[in-house]
Structure 1
Amino acid sequence: MKIQNGGCVVILIILVSFLRESYSISYRNFDEFFKNITGGKNINLRPVLDHKSKVDIYLFFHLIYIKEFNEVEGKLSLTGYFNISWVDQTIPWNSTENGIEQFTLQEHIIWKPSFIIGNAYDGVKLIYRDENVIRVQSNGVVTWTTGDNYEVFCNADVSRYPFDAQICNLEILPWGYTNEEISVVPIFDYVVHDLLNPQKTWEFIESSVTKREDLQLITFSMLLKRHPMFFVLNLILPISVMIILNIFVFLLPPESGERVGYAVTVLLAIAVFLTISSENLPATSIPRLSSISILLFADVSISAFIVMMVILSSRYYHREGEYPVTKCMRGFVNVSRIVRCKMCCCSIKKGKYSEKENGEEIKWTDVGKEIDMVCSIFITVVILIVNALYIIDVAV
């Protein structure tokens, strides 16, 4: 029994030694193969057997994350990587001889094309990172995958904020080569985004890829749509509620003495709210001012107008006994009553109102009440029109 166990141990040791020797030989063979493939190559020369031939370069962009979009500065920050491939005519080998189908190496060991971001935000930048690797296949196909955080220009149109959508481009073009030396071909007509992480403000809608032949410029266009719900709930709805509350000041009895205070309080509340919320508004007027900025300015103006009319109405209401009602104010009251159909048709003769026939004397309190009534109707109509125009503008 002991002899059998000892024999098994000897056999196991021999097998392990054999496997170690096989691994050592395999590594040495691969190292020799690697040196034969990459040694003595001039990485400055294009990998073609005929120097007059073009190198066809195929690429696509894979979007991973939309990091930031600053509409004021026009800066879009993207995280992703380029997959670039070409055929190196000086590399192909017979994989059946050594069993090696493909391998990887550092990108500075063999030739690779130079590319720049055409619309980089901080100047011209080459697509290059020392830590990137290149995969080489036995048929000579070389695949270079390089990723980074890319900051590019994107002119934003915030006229429909916060219901706006922006089209931003990522441009890439070869650097230092002519059209006779290389040809750049996009693999897909869209931006690959199957690994895209959701962004809190922007939603990726669609994309397209175009090529400008004279410059070999590849443009990756992306349509981004803003998520509006946060801005609706925290900006548009609160200011709309406050401006509606402002109208109810005309329902307060003039005798209460709180009308002016109420109107001024709402105006100050709107002003303070806009001051706090101003950081959420796009601080730009190119190509034109955003509709939401115009709407908010209109709301503040309406609120200020309400304060003025409340003061004027209160002034007239408490003017009784100081001066007689002027002819102009009597005419205003009469026209207002006629328009609101408060008078009988028999009270109107030849288009004019006769106080004597009606037997009613117009007082300053009547003037104040009519101002309240007219202003409440007029301002309500104005608010509806302003908001309707805003909705039409952002919807069209």
Structure 2
Amino acid sequence: MKMQNGGCVVILIYLVSLFKESYSISYRNFDTFFKNITGGKNINLRPVLDHKSKVNINMSFHLIYIQEFNEVEGKLSLTGYFNISWVDQTLSWNSTENGIEQFTFQEHIIWKPSFIIGNPYDGVNLIYKDENVMRVQSNGVVTWTPGDNYEVFCNADVSRYPFDTQICKLEILPWGYTNEEIVVVPIYDYVVQLWFNPQKTWEFIDSSVTKREDIQLLEFAMKLKRYPMFFVLNLILPICVMIILNIFVFLLPPESGERVGYAVTVLLAITVFLTISSDNLPATSSPRISSISLLLFADVCISAFIVIMVIVSSRYYHREDKYPVTKFMRGFVNVSRIVRCKMCCCRRKKEKYSEKGNKEEIKWTEVGKEIDIVCGICITAAICIINALYIIDVAV
């Protein structure tokens, strides 16, 4: 029994020694193998045994980081790398003879395809650098992973800024080859996010990969959504506060003499926010003007109207009583009182205004006060409607 166990141990040791001998490769042996495999290669010829055959190029894009998306300039800056693979029919070998399954080498030794960015932001750019390396397997599969910082053009749609969602594309197409020479095949139908680091301004929502067969162009589309809270706190809410403060100008006593200055100050503050938002948006109206720009423009118009009505009401309020109130103004005051009483007053006041009507003596101060009340109600309703339309527009 002991001899049988000892024999098994001897056989096991012998097999392990054979395994080590067959798969231990010295530097000199590997150098000789490398020179035999890569020597005499013409990097200008496609790696096919039949020149009429096509080379299938498999490609995918791995996104690492979104550096910047400048919607004003339409520039998207990405950091990532491409995983490109093809079969080199001149580089296959039998791995069982020498134990070499794969190895790496500099990319300038053998043939590689040329690709350019189809939508570059500045100039025509190739997607690789000469210091990249390649990995080749015993079956002839070559894997190439060029990486860089890529700047592409992306036309931003800021119609719902800052609640906007952008779809930007990274377009890649072969350079110098026809459809009869190479065929580009996407490995995945999405952008790989294995090493992706989230960006603080934009959220990566979705991605897709499409191909144009006529020019072998791959489009890596990325859907980005902006984080809006910073802009809500620093732009939208201050605008809402400014326009609400505008209404309180009609509550200031006309005797204070500060009404016009107050209204003009609020108008200038809203104009400043309009300038700030314009600096952060592209100077374009396609597909349409931004909702925040329309909101600010409407607020500026309302503020300008408030300034005009404050001046008019102050003029009527301070008019001397020696000038009789015109028939039109008496009618305006009576109609305004009746309408307001039908909405919120008691029955006795309704009858009082209905019976006396034009018989009651009306002074210019009452005309000014009535103008303030009517303008305050109408402008409040207009502000509520405008802001509701903005919320509906950005939410749908």
TM-score (structure 1 length as normaliser): 0.89
How far off is 1:183 after superposition? 1.1
1:206 counterpart residue number: 206
- The 8 Å contact of residues 73 and 282 in structure 2, kept in 1 or not, is answered as no
Is residue 119 of structure 1 aligned with residue 125 of structure 2? Answer: no
The letter of the residue matching 2:232 is V
Give the Cα separation in 1 of the matches to 2:268 and 2:189.
Answer: 53
Aligned counterparts of 2:114 and 2:273: Cα–Cα separation in 1: 52
Deviation string for 1:12-40 (max 9, x for gaps)?
A: xxxxxxxxxxxx98111111100000001
The alignment-based identity, stated in percent, is 84
1:73 aligned to 2:73? yes
Amino acid aligned to 1:246:
N
Partner amino acid, structure 2, of 1:164: D
Alignment check: 8 A CA contact 2:41 2:110 kept: yes
Runs of 4+ in 1 over 6 A off after TM superposition: none
Please say if residues 317 and 364 of structure 2, whose CA atoms lie closer than 8 Å, have aligned partners that are also in contact: yes
CA deviation after TM superposition for structure 1 residue 155, in Å? 1.1
What's the counterpart of residue 157 of structure 1?
157
Deviations 1:277-327, CA, capped at 9 Å, x for gaps: 543344432332111011111112211211211111111111132411011
Cross-structure match for 1:92: 92
Structure 1 pair 392–268 and aligned structure 2 pair: CA distance change class (3 A): same
Match in the other structure for 1:41: 41
**Residues in 2 aligned to 1:167 and 1:98: alpha-carbon distance in whole angstroms:** 50
Deviations 1:253-285 (A, max 9, x none): 222222222222222333344445543344432
Give me the whole-angstrom Cα distance separating, in 2, the residues matched to 1:354 and 1:362. Answer: 10
Say which SS state the counterpart of residue 185 (structure 1) adopts.
Answer: strand
Q: Are 2:322 and 1:348 equivalent residues in the alignment? A: no
Distance 1:346 1:377 in 2: 23
- Write the distance in 2 (CA, Å) between the matches of 1:266 and 1:347: 36
Write the mapping of 1:28-67 to structure 2, written as runs, cut at 5 A: 28-67=28-67
Q: Output aligned runs, 1:204-283, within 5 Å.
A: 204-276=204-276, 278-283=278-283
Residue deviations 1:359-379 (CA, integer Å, cap 9, x gap):
x21110110110010010000
Is the 2:278–2:293 contact (alpha carbons within 8 Å) kept by the matching residues of 1?
no
Does structure 2 retain, via aligned residues, the 8 Å contact 1:281–1:293? no
* More displaced 10-residue stretch of structure 1: 370-379 or 87-96: 87-96
Matched residue type, 1:150: Y
Q: 1:50 to 1:276 in 2, by over 3 A?
A: closer
Task: Compare 207-216 and 250-259 and name the one that shifted more.
Answer: 250-259
**Given the superposition, is the C-alpha separation of residues 318 and 177 from structure 1 closer, same or farther in structure 2, using an over 3 Å criterion?**
same
Q: Contact 2:160 / 2:292 at 8 angstroms: preserved in 1?
A: yes
CA distance in 2, matches of 1:365, 1:74: 56
Quick one: distance in 1 between partners of 2:220 and 2:72?
22
Instruction: Name the CA distance, whole Å, in 2 between partners of 1:201 and 1:150.
Output: 18
Q: Deviations over 1:87-130 (max 9, x none)?
A: 11111111122121111111110011111111112222222201
Q: Determine the structure 1 residue equivalent to 2:284.
A: 284
What is the aligned residue count?
A: 369
Report if aligned partners of 2:106, 2:134 keep a CA contact under 8 Å in 1.
yes
- Where do 5+ consecutive residues of structure 2 fail to align? 1-23
Shift in Å at residue 81 of structure 1?
Answer: 0.5
The answer for the alignment partner of 2:171 in structure 1 is 171
Residue segments in structure 1 that go unaligned for 5+ positions in a row = 1-23
Indicate the residue corresponding to 1:329 in structure 2.
329
Over aligned residue pairs, what C-alpha RMSD do you find?
2.0
Partner of 2:105: 105
Contact 1:159–1:288 (8 Å) recurs in 2: yes
Write out per-residue CA displacement over residues 220-276 of structure 1, whole angstroms, 9 at most, x where no aligned residue: 111111111111100010011011011111112222222222222222333344445
Cα distance in 2 for partners of 1:369, 1:266 equals: 21
How far 1:152 moved relative to its partner? 1.1
Q: Is the 8 A contact 1:320 1:365 kept in 2?
A: no
In structure 2, relative to structure 1, the CA distance for the partners of 1:338 and 1:89 (3 Å cut) is same
- 8 Å contact kept, 1:191–1:208: yes
**CA drift at 1:68:** 1.4
C-alpha deviation, 1:190, in angstroms: 0.2
Determine the C-alpha separation between the residues in 2 that align with 1:210 and 1:273: 41
Which deviates the most, 248-257 or 232-241? 248-257
Inter-partner Cα distance in structure 1 for 2:353 and 2:311: 32
Determine the structure 2 residue equivalent to 1:196.
196
User: 2:133: which partner in 1?
Assistant: 133
Deviates more, 1:63-72 or 1:324-333: 63-72
Q: Hey, what's the Cα distance between the residues in 2 that align with 1:189 and 1:281? A: 32
Q: Is contact 1:80-1:148 (8 Å) kept?
A: yes
Using the alignment, how far apart are the partners of 1:369 and 1:215 within structure 2? 73
TM-aligned CA distance change 1:70 to 1:49, over 3 Å: same
* Amino acid in the other structure paired with 2:126: L
TM-score by length of 2: 0.89
Contact 2:270 2:296 in 1 (8 A): no
- The residue matched to 1:130 in structure 2 has which SS? coil
Q: 1:91 to 1:163 in 2, by over 3 A?
A: same
* 3-state DSSP of counterpart to 2:45: coil
Q: How many angstroms apart in 1 are the aligned matches of 2:233 and 2:108?
A: 53
CA contact (8 A) 2:274 2:297 kept: no
Q: Are the structure 2 counterparts of residues 35 and 76 from structure 1 closer, same or farther at C-alpha, using a change threshold of 3 Å?
A: same
